[in-house]
Amino acid sequence: MASSFPEEVLEHVFSFLISQKDRNAVSLVCRSWYEMERWCRKRIFVGNCYAVNPRVMSRRFPEVRAVYLKGKPHFADFNLVPDGWGGYVYPWIVEIARVYPWLEEIRLKRMVVSDECLEMIGKSFRSFKVLVLKACEGFSTDGLAAIAANCRNLRVLDLRECEVEELSGHWLSHFPDSFTSLECLNMACLSSEVSFSALERLVARSPNLKTLRLNRTIPLEKLSTLLQQAQQVVDFGAGSYSAEIRSDVYSSLADAFSRCKNLKSLSGFWDVTPAYLPAIFSVCSQLTSLNLSYATTQSPDLTKIVGQCYNLQRLVVLDYIEDTGLSTVSMTCKDLRELVVFPSDPYVADANVLLTEQGLVSVSQGCPKLHSVLYFCRRMSNSALISISQNRPNLTCFRLCIIEPRVPDYLTLEPLDAGFGSIVKNCKQLTRLSMSGLLTDRVFEYIGTHAKNLDMLSIAFAGDSDLGLHHVLSGCDNLRKLEIRDCPFGDKALLANASKLERMRSLWMSACFVSFGACKLLGQKMPGLNVEVIDERANVNSIPDYAPVEKVYIYRTVSGPRFDMPDFVRIMGKDKDGVNNLS
Amino acid sequence: MTTQELGLDITELRLGLPGGGGRGERNDKKRVFFDIFSTGGEVDHFSANSGGKNRNIDMAVGWPPVCSYRKRAMIKMYVKVSMDGAPFLRKIDINGFKDYSDFVMALGNLFGLIGDECEYTPIYEDKDGDWMLVGDVPWEMFTETCKRLRMKKRVNDGGLQTKT
């Protein structure tokens, strides 16, 4: 059948397939489809940079234009992965530079990127257009200067939440005067000053600039200057939104905002002077995305803003919004899809803001399209969770963080098993779940039984025994990422479900009861897994096999053990040469 | 690490991994104040067998799960700093620093302690009300547990007084 269907037709059909999942499925149909698909795959996604080595990618896919790589596990965001663990992008850049001279896009998440890597990117790819670095580290403003100087066709430079060594603010000046193709510049994560005149000139000569996210050092007084040069902007991040109250500054700012007819997304707003907030009122009804999570603005001012955002789809705020503000959201923002509420003061036991479970319940009642939630609060009840699940069975992502660990239902003092159980029972499309509060093994039974679409699960300070972990590993058919901290889960559940681990991307367990011996056994039994024990204790070599490890990170891989590990990381159960790898 | 070595190390204001580490003997005592934090050593803070129920919540690193980028950007953690003999206190935002070395430099600058002034040891009061030597725990944990700071004058006999 394959020979009667012209290749060109199949290739044309395949060109409509964008999702990696679809392309992977297509490549499994038969040998000739595999061959055809690999020749025309342009975009590569590697969810764990250690699951495969760069040569495997370059040998299979010769025509790649865009690469997206992820490095460290998610818990690295909370400082649980020690410095030096790994996630170096260097070997990937070397291979990509060698094989894909026409590469256009590189996206990296939680990777270590050196200046040398950035220099290599600048020099190796003539058509390079997009660089997105999210939560990356290891580079300085010198590396950024190399990108600016060399990437003549750059469209996107997006630095999200990166740790950058800031040697100078003049990297921006390295964009040549002839450079006019910029569409997106996100430098919000830089904490030191950049040359404002260079920035202004860059904005003025970038007619396609749609996204401009400034950093905190750009003062409010200068915003109107920039906005006037970039009235076409769609996504704008203000810098520090604070200044002496002056009517001329206010009116030019309000005027500048009102001219931005395409503005749909606002963010930034550090250090807010409330008197300047009304300057954005004219654009509120246009906004689909609003991130005020760095603004220490109080509830009345926040409420006045969200009360005008009729078209809002995404809202990110601090708990300063309080239940009253969220009630306004529930009445006004009927198109809301995603709600994120961060804590203003996470290390204080008692709430100093009036944000409770009620805020979330009201939004779940009033916003029919709400499907994604990340919510930090200090109390919760089973009845609230049950209401939320009944109001919003369309939830796909539900992440609840009750600030103090192991806190029960504040009304009944019972565990929150029933509440989260209701979430997984009613929300059949749930793909991501993070839980907190007092939870017993029972909640894991509910999850294993009902959460059949769950892709990622985060657990902390929960459960009673290995049975909890066993329910999850044996029941959640689509689970790919599981991260666990401070739970009494140990060897039995892990070893009994060893084969499941090969059908997942990764499992993280820290401060649990998994022993050295079990890790060794798992590593020996499962050649397709790297079982990394991360343990910084000085006496780690003399710890007996039955004692628990500090942290273990288990992931599937086709490339065997890695060789760039620091001394506190050991891959268990493999001999010195490791499993035979494919390079 | 024997008690004697521990005592000596404290007098010489040298900290590092248990069993040694650090940069060896230094003749230049004048820079010793800043030496503590330039070795970059992090003393282990995990105890064996600690998973599950009996963890001290205050000591849980990375909880609540607010990513470090957001923590640094958002929270101002101003704590009071007193110095023995100074007529008034200062305040410093702990969250404005990424690690101990920048922080200690800034502490020194607050009180004009540069170069020759190595008579002070920084100590801090933690959430339990205990006075601790700055530098033992990982930086992130320190920022989460420090309530106030004190620049304690070293006593001539080389020991640290334990009076609060």
Kind and range of the H or E run holding B93: strand B90-93
- Quick one: pLDDT at residue B34? 37
What token pair was written down for A13?
A: 């059909």
- Quick one: pLDDT at residue B46? 33
* Chain A residue nearest residue B60, CA to CA: A486
Average pLDDT over residues A310-320: 97
- DSSP secondary structure string, A403-415? SSTT---TTT---
Binning chain A into helix, strand and coil, the percentages to the nearest 5 are 35, 20, 45
Distance CA A401, CA A433 (A): 11
What 3-state DSSP class applies to A15? coil
Q: Looking only at Cα atoms, what is the longest distance across chain B?
A: 48
- Quick one: pLDDT at residue B145? 80
Q: pLDDT tens digits for A296-309?
A: 889 999 999 999 99
- DSSP secondary structure string, A230-242? TTT-SEEE--B--
Contacts of residues A536-539 at CB distance under 8 Å and 24 or more positions apart, as own/partner, are A536/A82, A536/A568, A536/B42, A536/B44, A536/B46, A537/B44, A537/B46, A537/B48, A538/B17, A538/B18, A538/B19, A538/B44
- DSSP secondary structure string, A484-538? EES---BHHHHHHTHHHHTTSSEEEEESSB-BHHHHHHHHHH-TTEEEEEE---T
Distance CA A253, CA A106 (A): 35
* Chain A residue nearest residue B141, CA to CA: A79
In angstroms, what CA-CA distances link A543 with A7, A320, A508, A550, B148? Answer: 59, 47, 21, 11, 37
Q: pLDDT tens digits for A335-377?
A: 999 999 999 888 777 777 899 999 999 999 999 999 999 999 9
Q: Which residues of B touch A (CB under 8 A)?
A: 17-19, 42, 44, 46, 48-53, 55, 57, 60-71, 73-75, 98, 138, 140, 144
To probe the interface with B, which of A78, A348, A516 has the most B CB atoms within 10 Å? Answer: A78
- Quick one: pLDDT at residue B116? 53
What token pair was written down for A307?
A: 């009360």
> How far is the alpha carbon of B85 from chain A, nearest alpha carbon, in Å?
31
Question: Looking at beta carbons, which residues of chain A come within 8 Å of B68?
Answer: 77-79
Average pLDDT over residues A97-104: 98
Cβ-defined contact of A548 to B48 (cutoff 8 Å): yes
Is the pLDDT assigned to residue A476 strictly greater than 50? yes
Q: How confident is the model at residue B137 (pLDDT cuts 50, 70, 90)?
A: confident
φ, ψ of residue A342 to 5 degrees: the values are -95, 155
To probe the interface with B, which of A486, A514, A540, A549 has the most B CB atoms within 10 Å? Answer: A486
- Quick one: pLDDT at residue A561? 95
- Quick one: pLDDT at residue B33? 40
Q: pLDDT tens digits for B139-156?
A: 878 887 888 899 998 876
Lowest model confidence (mean pLDDT) among A25-29, A99-103, A364-368, B135-139: B135-139
Is the pLDDT assigned to residue A259 strictly greater than 70? yes
What 3-state DSSP class applies to A482? strand
Question: Looking at beta carbons, which residues of chain B come within 8 Å of A487?
Answer: 51-52
Which residue's structure tokens are 């002839």?
Answer: A178
Q: At what angle do helices A115-124 and A90-99 cross, to 10 degrees?
A: 10
Contact (Cβ atoms closer than 8 angstroms) between residue A187 and residue A159: yes
The DSSP code for B115 is T
Q: Which of A382, A446, A441, A384 is nearest to A414 (CA)?
A: A382
- Quick one: pLDDT at residue A144? 97
State the SS3 of A70-116. ECCCHHHHHCCCCCCCCCECHHHHHHHHHHCCCCCEEEEECCECCHH
Q: pLDDT tens digits for B18-59?
A: 444 333 333 333 333 433 333 333 323 333 333 333 333 345
Average pLDDT over residues A560-577: 89
What token pair was written down for A4?
A: 């009667």
The alpha carbon of B16 is separated from its chain's Cα centroid by a whole number of angstroms, namely: 12
| Residue A360 buriedness (CB in 10 A; 0-12 / 13-18 / 19+) | buried
Binning chain B into helix, strand and coil, the percentages to the nearest 5 are 30, 15, 55
Q: Which of A347, A307, A304, A302 is nearest to A320 (CA)?
A: A302
Q: With pLDDT > 70 as the criterion, what percentage of chain B qualifies? A: 53
Complex prediction ipTM:
0.88
What token pair was written down for A463?
A: 């459960």
| Residue from the list B49, B64, B70 with its beta carbon closest to the beta carbon of A547 | B49
Average pLDDT over residues A392-418: 97
Q: pLDDT tens digits for A203-256?
A: 999 999 999 999 999 999 999 999 999 999 999 999 999 999 999 999 999 999
In angstroms, what CA-CA distances link A347 with A95, B67, B81, B141? Answer: 44, 13, 20, 11
